[in-house]
Amino acid sequence: MYYFKKITLAMLVLFLPFLGFSQNCGVLDSVSTSISHNGNGTSNYSFVCYISTTSGGGKSVNINIYCGGGDTLVSTTCESTSTTPTSVSFGPYTINTCSTQLYVDWYGYTNSTCGGSSCSGSSGTPVPVSWIDSRINCEDGHAMLQWETASEWNNKGFEIQQKVGENEYHTLGYVAGKGQSHEVQSYSFDLNLYAVPGAYYRVKQVDYSGNTSYTKDIKLNCAEKEIYIYPNPANNSVNFSEEVHTYRITDAMGKEVLFGTMTSTVDLEDLESGFYFISYEIEGVWRKSSFIKAEN
């Protein structure tokens, strides 16, 4: 049976030890990374780099992103910057799955072509937290904010934040981080005491140096849409009442047996008869249900 897992990592705010800001200079502010595992020892890596200028006119920044194991993904690319923050995308790049930390080298310049002397930058900077997809799980009216990290470096912990209407984000609670980790770590925070339909939630990561990063904004809409699956029991397929962004099917022991994206129908021909859980994402929120696969 063939299936794959897709891991999506949200905003990564870097440690940015500057060499000094005696001049207006180009700056790499942060990096957003997406990783899709291919199931054969390789993965596809994509990056969005967010860049700006400290002040003044157009400057530039030189960017390198690489795996600690030796593979270089983004190599000495020169990007023009301005006082208005912009982004530039790279990838996807297919390499053997990185088994160590991702690192970033960047250097800012006072002109728009990365010429002359560098005026700011960082070398060998570990990516502090590699995020795996964050989400709100809705089950039987209960809302749970969940997120994972693929790796952590100098990570102190996470603040859970809420935004209602046009107000600013404010902190609801705190979850301690692992500090240093190269394994997947899972976290959760119960939102039921703070659940406001239509409010937005996010996780703010803080390292021991005071640097921060954020997950994506997630709208709480557990009760806004009625999604159902049919038929149940199912034979060769099961359907959603509307297209879902992502789905995962696990057996009664919790083992993942199917995974897919952007569909309203799931092929069940390769599944044995029995009881299964099905989790699915729509509008950034995960829900969970169950079904029985009938005998073929």
Residues 186, 253 share a domain: no
Residue 277's contacts (CB-CB under 8 Å, 6 or more residues apart) are 249, 250, 251, 252, 288, 289, 290
Predicted local distance difference test score (pLDDT) of residue 19: 38
Same domain, yes or no: 105 and 193: no
Tokens 């994402």: give the residue: 281
What would the pLDDT profile of 2-20 be if each residue is shown by its tens digit? 333 344 333 343 444 433 4
Are 148 and 208 members of one domain? yes
Last residue of a domain, one of 79, 96, 126: 126
User: Which among 149, 142, 125 is positioned nearest to 7, based on CA atoms?
Assistant: 149
Whichever domain contains 281, its CATH number is: 2.60.40
Are 71 and 141 in a shared domain? Answer: no
Please say which residue of 126, 151, 181 terminates a domain. Answer: 126
How far is residue 104's CA from residue 16's CA, in Å, rounded to a whole number?
10
Are both 141 and 117 inside the same structural domain?
no
Whether residues 197 and 247 fall in one domain? no
86 and 142 both lie in a single domain:
no
How many structural domains does the chain have? Answer: 3
Same domain as 273, residue 179: no
| 269 domain-assigned | yes
Q: 52-82, pLDDT tens digit by residue?
A: 898 877 899 999 999 887 788 998 889 999 8
Q: Are 26 and 51 in contact (CB under 8 A)?
A: yes
Burial (Cβ within 10 Å: 0-12, 13-18, ≥19) of residue 239: middle
Q: Which amino acid is at 24?
A: N
User: Which range marks the domain in which residue 191 is found?
Assistant: 129-219
Asked, for residue 1, whether it belongs to a domain, the answer is: no
Q: Are residues 11 and 108 in the same domain?
A: yes
* 224 assigned to some structural domain: no
CATH number at 162 reads 2.60.40.10
Q: Are residues 212 and 236 in the same domain?
A: no
Q: Return the pLDDT at 23.
A: 67
285 and 136 in contact (C-beta within 8 Å)?
yes
Token pair 């994972």: residue:
148
Whether residue 54 lies inside any domain: the answer is: yes
pLDDT at 81: 92
Q: 183-218 pLDDT, tens per residue? A: 778 899 998 788 787 889 999 888 887 777 778 788
Most confident range (mean pLDDT) of 84-98, 218-232, 256-270 is 256-270
